[in-house]
Amino acid sequence: MSLIFPKRTLSRRQLLKISGLTGMGLLLDSCGTTFLSDTMGRTFEPLNQKLEELLLTQHPIPEFPISAIEPDKLLINTFDFSPKIDLTQFRLKIDGEVDQPKQFSMTEIQNFPLTSMVIRHICVEGWAAIVQWGGVRLRDLISLAQPRSNARYVYFKSADGYYESWDIASALHPQTLMVYQKNGEPLPVANGAPLRLASPVKLGYKQSKWVTQITLVDRLLPMKGYWEDRGYEWFAGL
């Protein structure tokens, strides 16, 4: 189904209370409109980002047992349409500030060691779902492209025209995956097959589906992300 612009009625603090998570980085909220106007949000976002970056750790975030999976709670949201992708022609491109640009077929990606995690996926709309994701660590793919020392941000391009950008530290987190499995089964097209982002360190709108290209850059471009360019918080960390 197509997603109409969601109503941002929950602050991140409220959202994380719902999901059972807390964090000092929520002292200043620039995600929702309940407590801050858009102008105030834009004013405080740089400070929020610094706080969130300080709180980000490369240590694994606690996961859930298999028994906690909530298969019916992961809603299907798309900003426009679900693209049709020919798996025989699909290639994941990694380029930009790298010394060895790469292209991976799905067969090559699935030959990497499988990493599986059971985490809570949190949507800014106010719902959450515990999901098991399986795939390859993004850091392993990026390392093969030999990123340059000046790479600070990572852009993700999707087959449906969606675009996102992350800080490099979040992209290299050990639980940030490019996934092709959901709950132990092949990833459905509606959930982003053949390849999507999944991570416990970002809100759902940062976790792009149908990813076809990953580009490392040394600075943020004017277009930061589909929803961010419409007023959402950029860092969107948990």
Q: Could you report the per-residue pLDDT of 81-104, keeping only the tens digit for each?
A: 889 999 999 999 999 999 999 999
Count of CB atoms situated within 10 Å of the CB of 59 = 9
pLDDT digits (tens, 9 = 90+) for 130-149: 999 999 999 999 999 999 99
**Are the C-beta atoms of 94 and 141 separated by less than 8 Å?**
yes
Stronger pLDDT, 86 or 13, i.e. the higher one: 86
According to DSSP, the β-strands at 163-167 and 196-198 are unpaired
Q: Is the pLDDT of residue 52 over 70?
A: no
What average pLDDT does the chain have? 83
Q: Please tell me the distance from the alpha carbon of residue 126 to that of residue 11, in angstroms, as a whole number.
A: 9
Q: Please tell me the distance from the alpha carbon of residue 103 to that of residue 187, in angstroms, as a whole number.
A: 21
Given the structure tokens 């699909």, which residue do they identify? 90
Stronger pLDDT, 153 or 30, i.e. the higher one: 153
The pTM assigned to this predicted structure is: 0.79
Q: Judging by beta carbons within 10 Å of its beta carbon (0-12, 13-18, 19+), is residue 200 exposed, middle or buried? A: buried
